[in-house]
Chain A
Amino acid sequence: MNKLSVRVIDILESIDTLEVPLGDSELHFKRDEIIKEIIIPKEFNTVWYLDDGKVLDIQCVIDTSHVNGSIKIISSMNNNLLFHLGISNEGDSRIDLINQVVGDNNNSEIQVRVVSKSDCKIFLKATGYLIDNTHNNTYLEDIKYLNEYPSSITCLPELIVLSDDVSASHNMTVGSISEEELFYLESRGISSDKAREMIRNSFLLSMKRREVSDE
């Protein structure tokens, strides 16, 4: 069963509602509702639109098994977005993550964390698309893959930058579960399987939160 859970932290309380269309379903976020979970179809496309002046931390975790889906975020003007996508994969899947910046003064930080729950393959395409005639935008994309099983990831990080007035960068790293961390948890009486699961989950949710300023 494929699931998507979404947590939205609206730092400036700048949204009345945020609508996330997903196949036949749709997630509506209101100010007081920050966590939603939904069963997603095997094929899904969703477009999130941030119109103006949003300061949001969005944490999505997708539990996938043989899915083909895309998440597109369109930032208009003056948005400050931290988007964290955790993908826990089982089976052969493909995820397209597109962040499209169409206006000025947007700051987008995209964190993607991928783990495999079995011998499986995932194709991940992460695209940052900054269109022409936009100004003063920053875009940072950081992808990390925790390789545990004899699984594989094909990752295509892509930056399409058509504006001169932008700061954009991306990076990707692949690592495995730390033997020291695993030993530590096991030496506290936790079984190896459970310890691995705890480390996987912590990696998936390891969103680098931003400090909220009082100003």
Chain B
Amino acid sequence: MDYALQQLVNGLTLGMIYGLIAIGYTMVYGIIGMINFAHGDIFMVGAFVSLIGFLLLGLAGISFVPLALVLVLVFAMGFTALWGYTVERIAYRPLRGSFRLAPLISAIGMSIFLQNFVQVTQGARVKPMEPLVTGGLVLRSTGSIEVTISWMQILIIVTTLVMLTVFTLLIARTSLGRAMRACEQDRRMAALLGIDTDRTISLTFVIGAALAAVAGLMYLLYYGVIDFYIGFIAGIKAFTAAVLGGIGSLPGAVLGALLIGLIETFWSAYLSVQYKDVAAFSILAITLIFLPSGLLGRNEVEKV
């Protein structure tokens, strides 16, 4: 019982990290119907920018942890958002009128470019960071093992839920959100009605990249070790989560991510660890057979 509870905490945290990345995938898909394969690598860039931020703060002598966290968060979000904007401007916008596969290939190219760029400029070795947020709460200590949740895990879960709420509200309530939804439904009509679609799409990428930076920072703090390759595996898992939850839907992305995190963790906990990815992807396949648009996705009717 306690063991299962502890694994639940582990799985929730893992799922929330996937969720933060998955929101970025699903937002971009929602607005231009394109899988931004470079998103995982933008997340990796976010983690590196965060690490550089901490090093700069260390040089500046700022050691008050909450202040350092906020400063690095702002720095990383700003800088990574700039990366997201640049990628969109260089690799996707020129291909907007082109056939459907063009931006997809361009995205894969961008992903490889970012990986190699970071590998060359930052080195191939892993980059470690000292634990910054330590300690946690003991939930139960009566059973066979102590059930604990660390402050870092709480921070990750809370951050993801806050981000989910903020961005769901942003899309539902603000004029930018209205413009985004309009672009999603019919980009040409939206443009005719005076919406600057290029700007709206750019902003979506900027927001997605800023979210990836948050995920990168959380990842860096939680695991303490990053390298140029982390974006690949995390990106694949987050993308899967977005598809499982119904691509285009923000709550769906987080729900899908939670499911993947929990399946992986519980499979590792009770069955063979080697088959955990097989398990997660089998469930994805089965879900898509019965619910082709994912758990919370809307059924798209292609109008002729």
Whether A and B are associated in the same complex: the answer reads no
